[in-house]
Chain A
Amino acid sequence: MEQAFFFYFAFVIAVAAVFVVAVRNPIYSALSLLIMFFHVAGLYVTLNAEFLAAVQIIVYAGAILVLYLFVVMLLNLRQDDRYHRQWPMAAAVGSTLVIEAIILTVMKGWTSPVVAPGTETTVGGISNTAAIGDVLYSTYMFPFEVASLILLVAMIGAILLAKKDIGGDAPQL
């Protein structure tokens, strides 16, 4: 049963990801991306990571992709302008990745998996969300703070870029 769900989600993720780059109309690519985000969230749910699934939807589908759609609609991209002269580069990168994937798939039979199959590392008794919070504020405190700092810098940068007349009499929005 779980495997059936996994293969469904994996298949849709792969197909939607191809559509994102293959469809001509940018709006349709954005929608394919939306479908992909939903199925990634579904994959998280099958892995008992409900918190990640919800955050995936809220952050990626609810905020980032809406902004992306916003920009696409405002720019009104000409449909054929998107891929000119990118084919050689894309083919080079793509074929490298495909070869790599094939090698890794073949190699997988020879090496032992890192985590033994069938064992789930369960966190005793507390919910998924509490477990993530616990780890985030103890074990991964430093990376978490660094990520926060980077986000803060990005925010200040965005404000500086958008508000060119800082210091002067800024027009009220």
Chain B
Amino acid sequence: MTELSLRLVVSLAQILAEMTIVMITVATMTYFERKVLGWMQDRMGPMEVGPYGLLQPIADGIKLFFKEDIIPAGASRAMFKLAPVLTMIVAMIGFAVIPFGPDITMTMFGLTIKPFVVADINIGILYVLAIASIGAYGIILGGWSSNSKYSLLGGLRSAAQVISYELNVGLAIVGVLLLSGTLSLVQITEAQAGGFWHWFIWGGRPDGFFPIHTQIFAFVVFVISAVAETNRIPFDLPEAESELVAGFFTEYSGMRFAFYVTAEYANMLLVSCVAASLFLGGWNAPYPGTILEYIGLEQLAWIEHIMWFTGKVYLFLFLFIWLRATLPRLRYDQLMRFGWKVMLPIALANIVITALTLYFFPR
């Protein structure tokens, strides 16, 4: 029993550390996004609070915390309160299976601990998919419980959109699963060790350089579908402000609004982590081994691994902002047609081709 409670304490500490990192990254993201958008539109971005506006996320947080919490008349009160919390929880627990750093084990208090992943379960990627599919509930319930036409329409659109694009996300990763032969994100990342030509986006075989198993089409499908699933521009139909005011969170204010926004950024972070782990080799450097290892600092190699992982994740986060600054919103019918008639066939063809190449040229 003591071992169990000790395990619980260690896990909780790990979860706390990971949550802190995620929340700090989300706060950084809000600043980063406004700044990058500003630069892309030839503006300065936030400059008032702190040097170069660096304290802007804190100011935003304090402002939202002290805003009045309004519950509209006729709203379903319990559901109205539950929906943002549900969205937030779902956005946070997905990080449990993401490997931030190398798969090393430490022994602490007689327990074996993996410091860079909270839970290395053997169905890691399926867990992420399951969590992502639950994310729709917070949005639908928020839209329904607000007792407002705009919210309801936003919620319905979101439901349709999430179901459609979830399918593409699920099919896009099948190629990677075929190549790696496992569902665990830790093992998928490890299968890509040893240089960028082993990353699944390139898909070179261990004995050669020629990219016969390349997953680049799956990668493109995955990234586009991930943007759609996180309701980001150009797929932000659920919150299209020109037609639906603010979509499903029209009636929300104060902290509940902040929960939705935080969950959106956390979801972006989650899909970026998954994309980096599945296609870009996760914490593996684009060259075999690590530099710190070559100069004789093997015990510090994890720093380099984590830096590569962070770099890849931020690349995706920048892509999200870049898309927002560049592309206009799609029309709803265009969104649906694109998802079902363009992305789905590409993802299916990728599965067939990957399976065939694997059959004729096994890894």
Contact = CB atoms under 8 A, between A and B. Distances in A.
Interface of A: 27, 31, 34, 50-51, 53-55, 57-58, 61-63, 66-67, 69-70, 73-74, 127-129, 173
Interface string B117-154: 00001110011011011101100110010000000100
B183 interface: yes
A69 B83 CA distance: 14
B6 interface: no
A63 to B, nearest CB: 6
A82 B183 CA distance: 43
B137 A34 contact: yes
Interface of B: 76, 79, 121-123, 126-127, 129-130, 132-134, 136-137, 140-141, 144, 152, 155-156, 159-160, 162-163, 166, 170, 182-183, 333, 336-337
A59 B312 CA distance: 31
B63 to A, nearest CB: 32
A62 B159 CA distance: 10
Contacts of A67: 159, 163
Given A34-B137, A66-B137, A73-B140, A54 B162 contact: no
B129 A58 contact: yes
B126 A55 contact: yes
B130 A54 contact: yes
B123 A54 contact: yes
A53 B159 CA distance: 22
B130 A58 contact: yes
Nearest to A69: B140
A173 B126 CA distance: 32
Given A54-B127, A70-B156, A73-B144, A173 B134 contact: no
14 contacts: A54-B126, A57-B134, A63-B166, A66-B133, A66-B163, A67-B159, A67-B163, A70-B159, A70-B160, A73-B140, A73-B144, A73-B152, A73-B156, A128-B122
Given A27-B144, A73-B156, A62 B333 contact: no
A58 B140 contact: no
A60 to B, nearest CB: 10
Contacts of A69: 137, 140, 144, 159
Contact of A62 (B130, B155, B156, B337): B130
Given A58-B129, A61-B133, A73-B140, 10 more contacts: A27-B141, A54-B126, A54-B130, A66-B136, A66-B140, A67-B159, A69-B159, A70-B159, A127-B122, A129-B122
A129 B337 CA distance: 33
Contact of B126 (A31, A58, A73): A58
Contacts, number: 74
Contacts of B159: 66-67, 69-70
Contacts of B132: 62
B131 to A, nearest CB: 8
A51 B156 contact: no
B123 A62 contact: no
A57 B333 contact: no
A58 B137 CA distance: 13
Contacts of B182: 127
B133 A54 contact: no
Given A62-B166, A63-B133, A27 B123 contact: no
A50 B133 contact: no
A126 to B, nearest CB: 10
A66 B79 CA distance: 16
A51 B123 CA distance: 6
A14 B182 CA distance: 35
Contacts of A173: 333, 336-337
B133 A57 contact: yes
A166 to B, nearest CB: 16
Nearest to A65: B137
A31 B83 CA distance: 12
Contacts of B137: 34, 66, 69
A96 B170 CA distance: 43
A112 B132 CA distance: 44
Nearest to B128: A54
A79 to B, nearest CB: 12
B123 A50 contact: yes
A153 to B, nearest CB: 19
Contacts of B122: 50, 127-129
A27 B144 CA distance: 9
A74 B156 contact: yes
Nearest to B336: A173
A75 to B, nearest CB: 12
A50 B121 contact: yes
A101 B159 CA distance: 39
A70 B291 CA distance: 53
Contacts of A53: 123
A63 B156 CA distance: 14
Contacts of B129: 54, 58, 62
B33 to A, nearest CB: 28
